[in-house]
Chain A
Amino acid sequence: MNAAVDLVRAEWTKLLTTKVGYWLVAVGALMAAGFTALFTAFAGDQGSGPGGPGGPGLPAVGTEAYASLVAGIPAQVVVIAVVLGVIGTTQEYRHRTATPTFLVTPRRGRVVVAKLVAYAVAGLVLAVAAVAATVLVATLYGGARGGAPDWTADAVGTLLRSGLALVVYAVIGVGVGALVRNQVGAVVGALVYLFVVEPIVASVPATADAYRWLPGGALAALTGDGRGTDLLGTWEGGALLLGYGLLAAVLGTVLAVRRDVV
């Protein structure tokens, strides 16, 4: 038990003695603040998209719809959470520190488990930062525009689930990194998946049905941003997302144990 705690602390020491973790949390919080400011600035505007002027636009500040929209914003920075986790594992291979790491802990599965725990906590820190930034901007800026969100139980629930999503995506990132090992490959792969593959799958009618089973669909269900009606239920989506996190973790662990460290 002590040894397990030591290993998790070693991972934190690694994270806290380099800059990338601080940067990612800062960027995540800034992104959440930026999105919130954007939605608040244009709150109440009429839509000008395919629906034409007068179509559905952004909900006005102070409305329940506005609060619910803003509460889902932290989930928009899942990409940062994934990158955080991916870097956590791949930098061991990039800088060849996998060698001393596995020399100290030859039972490599323990290292991966320690990373999963350490980065779940790091994801939690990112989540707190993103949620805080969102709430702060929505309250101050929304208030200045005439209606700070009314933090109802529903809105708070959405906020918390959005934060939880960040934790799960950080865990997924650790697993993906352990699978791919190549840092650039894993980061680029994750970005392409999140910003190209999933949106296409979601918008092509023939595959739209499958979207709900993907991490993005599960995330949408969990955070209830109302993207589609054919999503899973909130907690089913959450469970599926957690399943993806565990799958990545188990696969990553098995491969890290089997592969030669050269």
Chain B
Amino acid sequence: MRLDGRRRGGTERGGVISSEAATAEGRVEVRDLTKTFGSVTAVDSLSFTVEPGQVTGFLGPNGAGKTTTLRMALGLITPDRGTATIGGTPYAALPRPATRVGAVLETAFHPGRSGRDHLRVYCRAAGLPTRRADDVLAQVGLTPAGGRRAGGYSLGMRQRLGLATALLGDPRVLVLDEPANGLDPEGIQWLRGFLRHLAHDQGRTVLVSSHLLAEVEQTADRVVIVGAGKLVREGSLAELRDESAGTVLVRTPASAQLAAALTGAGAAVESTAPDALTVTGMTTEQVGAHAFSAGVELHELRARTTGLEEVYFRLTSGAEQYAATGGGAS
């Protein structure tokens, strides 16, 4: 599973890279990117930073602008405004981009060409030795199918071929657009482990997009969430998890009295029914203590974990609403 690091002199591989220079080299910075297709603003003043050594999930519902953003970062689409840099340099200005950045976008190959020949084409174009084709085939577990026409590959095999293409130049930065599409549960499991290994053990930058939080939840350390082309949230998954905790449900006949007491103590209280309250910012113990000292009778007291998925949905559904009403109320 270890990648071949011999060709890049001096750079330590296989261990966590900690030096400042190495970190800067693997940093992806998106600044103020904007792209309009006709009347659709696909990406709108988007800025975020992706650091090496972590898996960053790039999340957003369908049509949020993820693919457009990644293609702009890779020099395939010219932005209307803004910049994207890899280690401080725009992709198109990198001297040997295949050795710096590997990208898995939609699966693209000539159906009549074998997987191995497909890889050899890009070895030649990138000035890499053609034996790299066999290396990466082995890395993604495609060696037995390497000589077959790629047109006959299953969806999962195509995804693996795409990943193999991205790995040809042993790049420090990996960008993947919905790589789990078409993978079976075993394949998804494998991909998760593979991406974590590349980021955590080898210190690479891994940016992986998805429209499903569940898909990156077990892989990503950080998430960048977009909706309608705009940044909705950028932060660690742990932060997002904190946000999803801390809701307490209370049922009480004296709801107004308890609400006043809790609000006075700094909690956010929402009345969901005549006898029910939803409390944010307090644990069940704290709510119980306040109810006791206020002399309020409780019929139910329980913590409700909203779940990450719900937080993600709440964050992005606002953006969808925004998109649907064309900039009206949100």
* Interface residue ranges, A against B (CB under 8 Å): 2-3, 6-7, 9-10, 13-14, 17-19, 91, 95-107, 258, 260-262
Contact = CB atoms under 8 A, between A and B. Distances in A.
A104 B97 CA distance: 6
B71 A261 contact: yes
Contact of B122 (A10, A91, A258): A10
A97 B126 CA distance: 15
Contacts of A106: 75, 91-94, 97
A17 B76 contact: no
Given A13-B120, A17-B113, A261-B71, A6 B125 contact: yes
Given A6-B127, A262-B71, A17 B97 contact: no
Given A10-B122, A106-B92, A106-B93, 13 more contacts: A3-B127, A7-B125, A10-B124, A10-B125, A13-B121, A19-B112, A96-B108, A101-B125, A104-B126, A106-B94, A258-B78, A260-B71, A262-B76
Nearest to B116: A17
A232 B79 CA distance: 47
Nearest to B107: A96
Contacts of B125: 6-7, 10, 101, 104-105
A91 B110 contact: yes
B98 interface: yes
B137 to A, nearest CB: 15
B117 interface: yes
A14 B109 contact: no
Contacts of A7: 124-125
B219 interface: no
Question: Which residue among B106, B112, B113, B125 has the maximum number of chain A CB atoms within 10 Å of its CB?
Answer: B125
A17 B127 contact: no
A258 B78 CA distance: 8
Given A3-B127, A17-B117, A103 B74 contact: yes
A95 B110 contact: yes
Nearest to B113: A17
Nearest to A7: B125
Contact of B77 (A98, A100, A261): A261
B165 interface: yes
B311 interface: no
Nearest to B127: A6
Contact of B92 (A17, A91, A107, A260): A107
Contacts of B77: 260-262
Nearest to A102: B76
Given A13-B117, A104-B97, A260 B78 contact: yes
A99 B76 contact: yes
B205 interface: no
Interface of B: 71, 74-78, 91-94, 97-98, 103, 105-106, 108-114, 117-118, 120-122, 124-127, 165
B67 to A, nearest CB: 8
Given A100-B165, A261-B76, A18 B112 contact: yes
Given A3-B127, A6-B127, A104-B97, A96 B106 contact: yes
A10 B118 CA distance: 10
27 contacts: A6-B124, A10-B125, A13-B117, A13-B121, A17-B113, A17-B120, A95-B109, A95-B110, A95-B111, A96-B106, A96-B108, A100-B122, A103-B74, A103-B75, A103-B98, A104-B97, A104-B125, A105-B125, A106-B75, A106-B92, A106-B94, A106-B97, A260-B76, A260-B77, A260-B78, A261-B77, A262-B76
A201 to B, nearest CB: 36
A13 B78 CA distance: 29
Nearest to B77: A260
A38 B252 CA distance: 101
B103 A103 contact: yes
A118 to B, nearest CB: 11
Contacts of B126: 6, 104
Nearest first, the 3 closest Cβ-Cβ pairs linking A and B are A10-B125, A106-B92, A96-B108
A19 B165 CA distance: 22
Contact of B108 (A18, A19, A100): A100
Contacts of A2: 127
A250 B329 CA distance: 50
Contacts of B91: 106
Given A3-B127, A10-B122, A103 B76 contact: yes
A169 B105 CA distance: 34
Nearest to A105: B125
Nearest to B130: A13
A183 B18 CA distance: 49
Contacts of A18: 110, 112-113
A17 B123 CA distance: 14
Contacts of A100: 108, 122, 165
Nearest to B165: A100
Nearest to A101: B125
Contacts of A14: 110, 113, 121
B124 A9 contact: yes
Nearest to A14: B121
B176 to A, nearest CB: 13
